[in-house]
């Protein structure tokens, strides 16, 4: 049975009280009356004491249980000395890369180095190493040999088994053997972290703590928790089984040789037969027996060396990992790395609403550490007036890491807890003007949504609750969210409540009342949604709804806006070069954008992040959404070459003159020269404005020659105009439309956007 989060007896240091900020220096420790820290958290982010930042949430949680917690923020990793700044912890080092994966934080989808870091004072780059969890853990080990090291955060979670690494284009080992950590905590860490802390404080060795959900560790190849555990090869779960012939009920004698007695007689004496009464087990007993067996079963994934060299086995291992992600029925996993195994216990049990409230009601300072002075930290500036109301996402988008990290089961705070946080922001956060910038989370509108039955939820093996359509067992009532919105905006001192998290429009269309409430009170002119594509091929690989769901939401959104006399706009996000996308798919998307007069400023090329299902498709060119082994795996088209990736992105920005040379070349190759011309019916014009059309190598493309459309493909453009003084032809029509044409200018990109691998946007 799961122990309540705050049911542990507090550590003795609880008598020392609460720190205004968790200390980052020895001087701060002395001021608090500490001679040592029990736990030291090492992070790649600036220390901001706010529940949106992992090190603050974990630190305050441990502090509430009586532990002295120190913070080492963005240390110089070139030596071990900065890791000795607070002395040796009495219990362990906790290591995290920060709120974002360090590789996603530093590199773009084209593997180019970013020029800024939103989680660093003044956005200064290069303040954390590549693969920060591994580097920090090794330095902690070097600073104080023998001190336990526990790793966590999204970077560790997504690297808990062998994984494809896009930046090195190789399959890398689990982060556990590379970091030499004693324990890895994946997913929501609160339960496991408190349990391991209390057990270490009682004197238990970290090498003996192997029974915590949501943890991974290194073990011997033949290790099992108990002798009665059963090991099953994962390859037996993903291939067609042997079909046994049915027994003939009319046969006079059983097939095969007759049973023989030890004495050779061909009959068995009645008094030698041992009989027992037949016992009929109830359904509940049979279910309990199956659950008990499942709880004592570990699945052996293909070894690291196998998945490294065999794409089919890699795709198979990824599929099994994701199928074993429901806390209600997941089994333990193990994967050999050399002579030892990485052992993964089942995922953590989600927090209850009272537990979520307790975590978010802890005494956060809600400000950056004073040592940063007046430095601006972009991530803090963006979320300082926003509130996280939930965790988890049951969308299951294959390119997204939220499900792998936070799970599919929604964990919601109570309405009272959210209201208390709004009041705290209003009363304590400097610079508050009355506007709450967001009430959301991984998505804006999954608050309190859940399966209609706990039994069904615990047994479910689906990877998404909304694809290919919303599950009939999913409760999609928006009433609790509507009530919270109304109560929040009625608070004194609150002028406006905005919703900035990405909206699941396929859920919103089921509640016209919610759309009306949202449009009338909570949209500041723009609303972010993410159809991601228009074509069925790539959408099926993303596990996203068809474009028809977007059209229905758009109609409802615009009707509701007109009803209240507002001009408001949708900001759609699209992904280029996602697995399963062809050049024709991107062309059709570009034509859809032109038809609807969209000129996108913010576009994203697919970035393969560790452990995502779409990353598996990218690496293996196989579809892990279906069975992979047995010779029936589905092939997936993948865009790898730089030119094709640039082309797919160029289709999203067909209106950008710098993209026209590449698009002209591609359209000719595709046999679609009918789309090149100077009329409104054409996708791109014949001419090339001076000073545009830069190529990757830095050369400029000369002005394009005239291209005639194919017969029957529509009326061509206006053709050539009068010669200019320079002797070149200048078109008299079909000039590029001004940048303001279409929808209004874009809002700045959210620094916590999921487009960079972490945050809220869906």
SS (H, E, C) 313-334: HHHHHHHHHHHCCCCCCCCEEE
Residue 420 corresponds to which tokens in the numbers above? 């208390």
Please report which helix (H) or strand (E) contains residue 92, including its range. strand 92-96
Omega of the bond prior to 468 within 30 degrees of 0, cis? yes
Give yes or no for a contact between 275 and 139, defined as CB atoms under 8 angstroms apart: no
* Residues in the chain, total: 762
The whole-number pLDDT of residue 534 equals: 97
How many Å apart are CA 33 and CA 26, to the nearest integer?
Answer: 11
Residue 80 neighbours by CB distance under 10 Å:
15
How many Å apart are CA 476 and CA 511, to the nearest integer?
Answer: 8
- C-alpha distances out from residue 261 to 256, 258, 269, 297, 324, Å: 16, 10, 9, 37, 47
Give yes or no for a contact between 200 and 91, defined as CB atoms under 8 angstroms apart: yes
The whole-number pLDDT of residue 274 equals: 63
DSSP 183-214: EEE-SS-HHHHHHHHHHHHTT--GGG----TT
How many Å apart are CA 721 and CA 727, to the nearest integer?
Answer: 11
Report the candidate in 638, 122, 570 with the shortest Cα–Cα distance to residue 380.
122
The whole-number pLDDT of residue 736 equals: 38
Please report which helix (H) or strand (E) contains residue 477, including its range. none
Torsion, Cα 711 712 718 721, to 10 degrees, reads 10
How many Å apart are CA 240 and CA 244, to the nearest integer?
Answer: 12
Residue 345 corresponds to which tokens in the numbers above? 């216990």
Give yes or no for a contact between 85 and 25, defined as CB atoms under 8 angstroms apart: yes
Residue 475 CA from chain centroid, whole number = 23
The whole-number pLDDT of residue 449 equals: 97
The whole-number pLDDT of residue 96 equals: 97
Q: In this structure, are strands 183-185 and 215-220 parallel, antiparallel, or unpaired?
A: antiparallel
Buried b (16+ CB within 10 A) or exposed e, 298-313: bbbbbbbebbbeebbb
Residue 531 CA from chain centroid, whole number = 17
Buried b (16+ CB within 10 A) or exposed e, 594-607: beeebbbebbbbbb
Residue 621 corresponds to which tokens in the numbers above? 């060119």
Give me the residues of the chain with pLDDT under 50, please: 240-243, 256-268, 696-762
C-beta pairs of 227-230 under 8 Å, 24+ apart in sequence: 228/296, 229/296, 229/297, 229/298, 230/293, 230/296, 230/297, 230/298
The whole-number pLDDT of residue 239 equals: 58
């Amino acid at each position: 049975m799961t122990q309540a989060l705050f049911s542990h007896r507090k550590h003795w240091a609880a008598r020392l009280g609460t720190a205004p900020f968790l200390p980052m220096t020895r001087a701060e420790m002395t001021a608090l009356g500490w001679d040592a820290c029990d736990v030291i958290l090492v992070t790649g982010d600036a220390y901001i004491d706010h529940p949106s930042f992992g090190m603050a949430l974990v630190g305050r949680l441990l502090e509430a249980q009586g532990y002295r917690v120190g913070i080492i923020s963005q240390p110089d990793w070139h030596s071990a000395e900065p890791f000795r700044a607070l002395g040796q912890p009495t219990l362990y080092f906790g290591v995290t890369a920060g709120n974002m994966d360090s590789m996603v934080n530093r590199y773009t989808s084209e593997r180019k180095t970013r020029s800024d870091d939103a989680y660093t004072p003044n956005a200064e780059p290069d303040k954390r190493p590549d693969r920060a969890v591994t580097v920090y853990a090794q330095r902690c080990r070097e600073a104080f040999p023998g001190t336990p090291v526990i790793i966590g955060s999204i970077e560790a979670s997504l690297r808990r088994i062998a994984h494809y690494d896009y930046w090195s284009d190789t399959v890398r080992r689990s982060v556990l053997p590379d970091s030499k950590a004693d324990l890895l905590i994946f997913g929501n860490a609160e339960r496991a972290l408190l349990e391991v802390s209390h057990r270490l404080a009682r004197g238990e060795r970290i090498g003996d703590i192997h029974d915590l959900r949501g943890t991974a560790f290194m073990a011997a190849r033949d290790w099992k928790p108990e002798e009665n555990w059963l090991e099953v090869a994962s390859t037996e779960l993903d291939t067609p089984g042997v079909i046994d012939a049915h027994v003939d009920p009319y046969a006079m004698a059983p097939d095969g040789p007759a049973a023989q007695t030890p004495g050779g007689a061909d009959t068995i004496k009645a008094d030698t037969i041992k009989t027992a009464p037949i016992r009929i087990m109830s359904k509940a007993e049979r279910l309990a027996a199956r659950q008990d067996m499942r709880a004592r079963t570990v699945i052996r994934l293909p070894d690291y060396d196998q998945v490294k060299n065999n794409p089919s086995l890699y795709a198979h291992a990824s599929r099994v990992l994701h199928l074993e992600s429901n806390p209600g029925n997941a089994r333990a996993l193990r994967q050999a790395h050399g002579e030892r195994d990485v052992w993964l216990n089942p995922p953590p049990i989600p927090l209850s609403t009272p537990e979520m409230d307790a975590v978010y009601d802890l005494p956060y300072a809600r400000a950056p550490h004073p040592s940063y002075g007046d430095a601006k930290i972009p991530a803090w500036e963006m979320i300082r007036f926003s509130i996280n109301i939930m965790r988890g996402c049951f969308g299951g988008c294959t390119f997204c890491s939220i499900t792998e990290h936070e799970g599919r089961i929604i964990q919601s705070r109570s309405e009272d807890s959210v209201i208390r946080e709004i009041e705290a922001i209003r009363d304590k956060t400097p610079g508050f003007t009355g506007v709450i910038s967001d009430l959301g989370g991984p998505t804006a509108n999954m608050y309190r949504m859940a399966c209609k039955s706990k039994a069904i939820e615990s047994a479910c093996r689906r990877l998404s609750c909304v694809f290919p359509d919303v599950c009939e067992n999913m409760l999609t009532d928006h009433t609790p969210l509507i009530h919270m919105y109304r109560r929040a905006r009625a608070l004194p001192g609150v002028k406006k409540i905005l919703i900035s998290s990405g909206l699941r429009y396929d859920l919103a269309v089921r509640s016209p009342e919610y759309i009306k409430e949202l449009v009338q009170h909570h949209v500041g002119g723009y609303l972010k949604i993410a159809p991601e594509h228009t074509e069925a091929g790539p959408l099926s690989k993303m596990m996203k709804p068809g474009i028809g769901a977007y059209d229905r939401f758009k109609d409802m959104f615009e009707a509701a806006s007109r009803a209240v006399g507002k001009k408001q706009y949708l900001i759609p996000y699209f992904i280029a070069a996602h697995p399963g996308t062809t050049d024709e798919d991107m062309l059709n998307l570009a034509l859809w954008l032109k038809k609807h007069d969209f000129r996108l400023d913010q576009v994203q090329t697919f970035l393969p992040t560790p452990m995502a299902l779409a990353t598996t498709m990218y690496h293996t060119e196989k579809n892990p959404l279906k069975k992979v082994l047995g010779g029936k795996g589905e092939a997936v088209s993948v865009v790898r070459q730089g030119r094709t990736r640039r082309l797919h992105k160029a289709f999203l920005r067909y209106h950008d003159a710098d993209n026209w040379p590449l698009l002209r070349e591609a359209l000719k190759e595709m046999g679609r020269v009918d789309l090149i011309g100077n009329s409104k019916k054409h996708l791109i014009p014949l001419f090339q404005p001076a000073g545009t059309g830069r190529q990757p190598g830095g050369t400029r493309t000369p002005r394009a020659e005239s291209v005639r459309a194919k017969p029957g493909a529509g009326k061509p453009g206006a053709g050539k105009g009068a010669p200019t003084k320079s002797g070149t032809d200048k078109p008299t029509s079909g000039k590029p439309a001004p940048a303001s044409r279409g929808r209004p200018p874009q809002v700045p990109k959210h620094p916590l956007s999921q487009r960079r691998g972490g945050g809220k946007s869906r």
